[in-house]
């Protein structure tokens, strides 16, 4: 168990209770995402394009906005009606059109990467122990999410303190993006207790599994370390021409085939 993670979570929870009224995660409903004001949206749009278009193009765009104002008002009305039926009216459109339909390779284009602070390791065992500690901490964090112990996220801007939707956390460790022709799919594992869970480790362009088991909470950092050692030894003996990892960086249509 990574005590630092639980210490951090508890600190956030105490801060939330000190500043705001106690709100149980199951007892609140997030507000529906509002539809931006039409006039303000058009004004902001024109301000955004002004530095990057010519004067003639800007004048033409302003004219188009004015000529289509009535049609835009009808569209705005339909959008407001639709937004009243959904907690977040933009989620499905954004997810389908701007994310899952993108055909470019995921790396950099859709999925950003993160770099840890540079560290110097004495040997491979030191490196693998460090990796095992990171994985163990992630599993502890996943256990906090699965047991619904995460403090409620709150807004820090116009409506400071307003509870925010926590649904995104449930997709963090249980989602797989399956490549498809013209459109990918999100596969989300259910939260059943009988699921045998594992972690994918990519090394030397191959993918190996660290078996965690049915109960994530029963893992140990030492078990993870020993599995990493076995994976490292297998990777050294693997055939160099078996490069499954290469496919994950291809355009999505190619990876799907």
51-100 pLDDT, tens digit per residue, is 999 999 999 999 999 999 889 999 999 999 999 988 889 988 888 988 89
- Residue-level pLDDT at 39: 92
For the purposes of burial, counting CB atoms within 10 Å of the CB of 194, is it exposed (0-12), middle (13-18) or buried (19 or more)? exposed
Report the distance separating Cα 75 and Cα 69, nearest Å. Answer: 10
| Sequence spans of domains, the chain | 3-14+103-256
Q: Are strands 197-203 and 206-213 parallel, antiparallel or unpaired?
A: antiparallel
Question: Which region among 120-124, 172-176, 191-195 has the lowest average model confidence (pLDDT)?
Answer: 191-195
- Residue-level pLDDT at 216: 63
Report the distance separating Cα 20 and Cα 12, nearest Å. Answer: 12
Which carries the bigger pLDDT value, residue 64 or residue 239?
Answer: 64
**Fold for the domain defined by 3-14+103-256:** Chloramphenicol Acetyltransferase (3.30.559)
- Count of alpha carbons within 13 Å of 107, Cβ hemisphere only? 8
Q: Does the CA dihedral 6-156-91-24 come out positive or negative?
A: positive
**pLDDT higher than threshold 50 for residue 23:** no
Mean pLDDT of 132-161: 83
Which of 183-192, 211-220, 236-245 has the highest mean predicted lDDT (pLDDT)? 183-192
Kindly report the average pLDDT of the chain as a whole number.
83
Structure tokens at 122: 């004495």
């Amino acid at each position: 168990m990574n005590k630092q993670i639980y210490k951090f979570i508890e600190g956030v929870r105490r801060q939330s209770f000190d500043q705001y009224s106690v709100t149980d995660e199951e007892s609140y409903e997030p507000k529906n995402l509002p539809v931006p004001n039409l006039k303000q949206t058009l004004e902001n749009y024109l301000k955004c394009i002004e530095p990057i278009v010519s004067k003639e193009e800007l004048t033409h765009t302003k004219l188009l906005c004015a000529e289509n104002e009535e049609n835009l008002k009808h569209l705005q009305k339909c959008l407001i009606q639709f937004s009243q039926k959904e907690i977040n009216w933009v989620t499905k459109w954004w997810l389908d059109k701007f994310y899952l339909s993108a055909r470019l390779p995921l790396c950099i284009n859709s999925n950003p990467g993160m770099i840890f602070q540079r560290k110097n390791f004495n040997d491979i065992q030191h490196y693998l122990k460090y990796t095992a500690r990171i994985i163990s901490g992630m599993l502890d964090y996943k256990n906090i999410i699965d047991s619904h112990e995460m403090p409620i996220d709150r807004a820090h801007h116009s409506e400071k303190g307003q509870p925010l939707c926590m649904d995104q956390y449930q997709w963090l460790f249980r989602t797989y993006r399956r490549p498809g022709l013209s459109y990918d799919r999100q596969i989300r594992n259910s939260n059943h207790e009988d699921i045998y869970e594992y972690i994918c480790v990519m090394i030397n362009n191959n993918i190996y599994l660290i078996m965690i088991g049915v109960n994530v909470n029963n893992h140990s950092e030492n078990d993870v370390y020993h599995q990493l050692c076995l994976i490292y030894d297998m990777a050294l003996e693997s055939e160099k021409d078996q490069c499954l990892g290469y496919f994950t960086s291809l355009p999505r249509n190619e990876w799907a085939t």
